[in-house]
Amino acid sequence: MPAPLIEMRGISKSFGAVMANEAVDLSVAQGEILGLLGENGAGKTTLMNVLFGAYAPDAGEILVQGRPVTINSSADALAAGIGMVHQHFHLAPRLSVLENLLIGIPGKSGRIDRAGGLTRLAEIGRQHGLTLDPDLPVSALSIGEQQRLEIVKALFRGARLLILDEPTAVLAPTEVDGLFSALRSMAAQGLGIIFISHKLNEVRALTHRCVVLRHGRVTGRVDAPASTTSSEMARLMCGHEIVPPARGPSTPGAAVLTLDAISTSRHSGMALRDVSLSVRAGEILGIAGVSGNGQRALAEVISGVRAPDAGRMTIAGKSVSRFSPREVQALGLGRIPEDRM
Ligand SMILES: Nc1ncnc2c1ncn2[C@@H]1O[C@H](COP(=O)(O)OP(=O)(O)O)[C@@H](O)[C@H]1O
Ligand SMILES: [Mg+2]
């Protein structure tokens, strides 16, 4: 049997008292899609950051096709054929698609080879259905297209192993299909892929094998994800069966928060247009949407971080006037932000 494309042996990494990874072993073969599954905080990103050279492990070793390697930086990782698409993209928004691809790649005689770049971009587009307009600035791309560009960038730099950290979190369901067919196509051509997720249906649909992390340790290995039940995988991931919480009855009272025709300008990210909603005492209001479609702006307005350009907001019947975090807190609103650190 040929040596695996990538092998991690006994990797441990702690941050102070937190053991983010403890004696983790995993390997990926050529042509294989490996799922890395675990709840939030299980250590998935840390493990991949070790593989990509962002952190030095406290213990353990990494082998590429059977040879031990030292990976101290993303440049080392790329030289070893490892590419990573992070949860937050690393793109230059004002530069074009092609410019983003060519940054840092010296062409013949040190000049950037634009024609060669265009040819390669078209080739990758044909091979895997990852088409992009080379001249568009990144700021004009949808989130899904930016992700496509990150994948193409890794292929451009010669990645033979591609790591994707929760790539579907930012995609609409229809875009997920496109991503999966591109990943299958890359694997069919011999690339190794590590797909990080905590969504069991995705892991079962896409991956050939998966490794489950919990509290930094491997708690399960699944050799046939497609024929393993979600509840079995959930047990490996959480340590117990998942019982969906029962929804109690609700007899809502008066509105505690109202938004009336709130609009914002496009500032950083998506603008809000004419958003109205209310939350009544005793009820839980869900807001559904794919990341990048205004949730952040909405949270910023509600928590007083950003003032809207138009519209009104009331908390417990009182009109919010200044939109400062101090004002909304004084009116009784608390916020838990999406980033925990
Ligand atoms: N740079 C860091 N500094 C301190 N603690 C960290 C850092 N990165 C991750 N952690 C902690 O390590 C644990 C694993 O985190 P992470 O690898 O991000 O998990 P996952 O990607 O599975 O959600 C968590 O407890 C997290 O808070
Ligand atoms: Mg993570």
Among 52, 53, 59, residue whose Cα is nearest residue 10: 59
Measure 334 CA to ligand 2 centroid, in angstroms.
Answer: 25
Cβ contact 197:168 at 8 Å: yes
CA neighbor of 28 nearest in space, from 211, 276, 180:
211
pLDDT in tens, 150-179: 999 999 999 999 999 999 998 988 899 999
Of 14, 15, 26, the residue with max ligand 1 atoms within 8 A of its CB, to mutate for a pocket test, comes to 15
Question: What digits encode the pLDDT tens for the residues 265-284?
Answer: 876 667 899 999 999 999 99
All structural domains of the chain, each given as residue ranges with its CATH number in brackets, are 6-238 (3.40.50.300), 255-330 (3.40.50.300)
Higher-confidence position of 300 and 112: 300
Residue 341 has pLDDT above 50, yes or no: no
Q: Which residues line ligand 1 (CB under 6 A)?
A: 15, 18, 20, 38, 40-46
210 closest CA partner among 186, 234, 188, 191: 234
Closest CA to ligand 1's atom 14? 43
List, for residues 113-145, the tens digit of each pLDDT value. 888 899 999 999 999 999 999 999 999 998 899
The atom of ligand 1 lying closest to the CA of 38 is: 22
Beta-ladder partners of 193: 33, 162
| Phi/psi of residue 137, nearest 5 degrees | -70, 150
Interval 234-261 mean pLDDT: 89
**Residue 7 clears pLDDT 90, i.e. is over it:** yes
More confident residue, 212 or 103: 212
> What's the gap in Å between 45 CA and the centre of ligand 1?
7
Query: Which residue owns the Cα nearest ligand 1 atom 11?
Result: 20
Provide φ and ψ at 42, rounded to 5°: -70, -20
Position 173 scores a pLDDT of 85
Which residue's C-alpha comes closest to atom 6 of ligand 1?
15
Indicate which ligand has the atom closest to the C-alpha of 340: 1
Q: Is 234's pLDDT higher than 60?
A: yes
What would the pLDDT profile of 28-44 be if each residue is shown by its tens digit? 999 999 999 999 999 99
DSSP 171-204: S-HHHHHHHHHHHHHHHHTT-EEEEEES-HHHHH
Q: Which residue has the tokens 């609009």?
A: 263
Report the residue count for the chain: 341
Is a pLDDT exceeding 60 seen at residue 340?
Answer: no
How are strands ordered across the β-sheet holding 6-15?
Answer: 18-28, 6-15, 59-64, 67-69
Q: Residue 183 in contact with residue 195, Cβ under 8 Å?
A: yes
Higher-confidence position of 296 and 281: 281
Bridge partners, residue 214, by sequence: 217
Q: Which runs of consecutive H residues, i.e. helices, occur in the chain?
A: 44-51, 74-79, 97-102, 114-128, 143-156, 173-188, 200-206, 230-238, 295-302, 325-330
Q: How far apart are CA 276 and CA 286, in angstroms?
A: 14
**Ligand 1 center to 258 CA (angstroms):** 36
